[in-house]
């Protein structure tokens, strides 16, 4: 079995366990007026399971330099967020026919015509993925804009970006907001929120917070791309805005320089 498949298994299992935990706490809250669901036995068991799964994910990540050399050192990332981003960056799961192994097209095998149920358990093969520039990585994660606006999902229309990727980036923003103010990404978030107060004074505080978290996620994922390319020995091109728009003040990856200096010493 491909190591990436094992990692993906634990990531999905952790996500499923977390959703079950949240649903269980909500159900308990609805029938236990005034009581705190977090002390209930089922909740404690599920939290313990989440902890075990998180440790399993971390163990699977230890073979990837991007995790051990950088991501692991960033408070607020953690195995689940870091693992999902790493998996989406390096690997692509392609559904194949259980009968003959041909790549499926709209859940139908073009070779033997076998139809796989959309809600069933599919079989996948793993293919390596590569993003030649930051813009392609941002678009994949749904952090890009179309005519200055973030694209939204539309009913019946398949989007050309990853809704899961956008969700993980949103979760990263939420986690960074919980960090201390001296955390470099938290400091950047606070700076962007302060700037949006000047540029968008008529919007709500919640909207400005969301804007700041989005910008922080874009900074982090650009750093993610730069560090991954560096560790993989691939070309690290300058962002589009610095090449075409003569933009200055590009922020290098936080934590990474300190690691390289320490190793050199």
Say which range, 23-27, 29-33, 121-125, 169-173, has the weakest mean pLDDT.
Answer: 121-125
Mark 86-122 as b/e (b = at least 16 C-beta within 10 Å): bbbbbbebebbbeeeeeebeeeebeeeeeebeeeeeb
Write the pLDDT tens digit of every residue in 239-264. Answer: 644 443 445 568 899 998 755 544 54
Q: Indicate if the pLDDT at residue 1 is higher than 70.
A: no
User: What local confidence, expressed as pLDDT, does residue 91 receive?
Assistant: 96
Long-range contacts from 10-17, C-beta under 8 angstroms, 24+ separation:
10/53, 10/56, 10/57, 10/60, 10/83, 11/57, 11/80, 11/83, 11/84, 11/87, 13/53, 14/50, 14/53, 14/54, 14/57, 14/80, 15/80, 17/46, 17/49, 17/50, 17/53
Confidence of residue 6 (pLDDT cuts 50, 70, 90): very high
User: What local confidence, expressed as pLDDT, does residue 64 receive?
Assistant: 97
Average of per-residue pLDDT across 187-204? 94
Q: Indicate if the pLDDT at residue 21 is higher than 80.
A: yes
Write the pLDDT tens digit of every residue in 134-151. Answer: 999 999 999 998 887 888
| Ranges assigned E (strand) in the chain | 91-96, 123-128
Q: Tell me if residue 104 falls in helix, strand or coil.
A: coil
Average of per-residue pLDDT across 99-114? 78
């Amino acid at each position: 079995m491909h190591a990436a498949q094992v990692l993906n298994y634990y990531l999905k299992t952790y996500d499923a366990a977390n959703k079950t935990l949240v649903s269980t706490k909500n159900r308990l809250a609805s029938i236990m007026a005034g009581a705190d669901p977090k002390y209930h036995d089922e909740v404690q068991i599920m939290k313990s399971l989440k902890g075990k799964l998180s440790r399993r994910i971390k163990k699977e990540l230890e073979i990837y330099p991007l995790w051990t050399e950088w991501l692991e050192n960033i408070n607020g990332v953690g195995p689940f967020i870091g693992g999902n981003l790493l998996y989406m960056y390096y690997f692509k799961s392609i559904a194949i026919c259980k009968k003959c192994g041909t790549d499926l097209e709209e859940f139908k095998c073009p070779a033997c015509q076998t139809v796989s149920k959309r809600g069933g358990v599919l079989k996948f093969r793993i293919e390596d993925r590569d993003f030649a520039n930051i813009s392609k990585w941002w678009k994949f994660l749904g952090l890009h804009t179309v005519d200055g606006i973030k694209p939204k999902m539309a009913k019946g229309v398949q989007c050309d970006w990853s809704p899961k990727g956008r969700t993980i980036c949103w979760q990263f923003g939420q986690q960074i907001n919980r960090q201390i103010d001296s955390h470099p990404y938290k400091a950047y978030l606070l700076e962007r929120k302060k700037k949006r107060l000047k540029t968008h004074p008529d919007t709500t505080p919640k909207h400005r917070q969301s804007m700041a978290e989005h910008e922080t996620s874009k900074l982090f994922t650009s750093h993610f791309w730069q560090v991954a390319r560096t560790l993989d020995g691939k070309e690290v091109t300058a962002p589009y805005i610095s090449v075409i728009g003569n933009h200055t003040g590009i922020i290098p990856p936080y934590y990474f320089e300190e690691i390289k200096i320490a190793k050199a010493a």
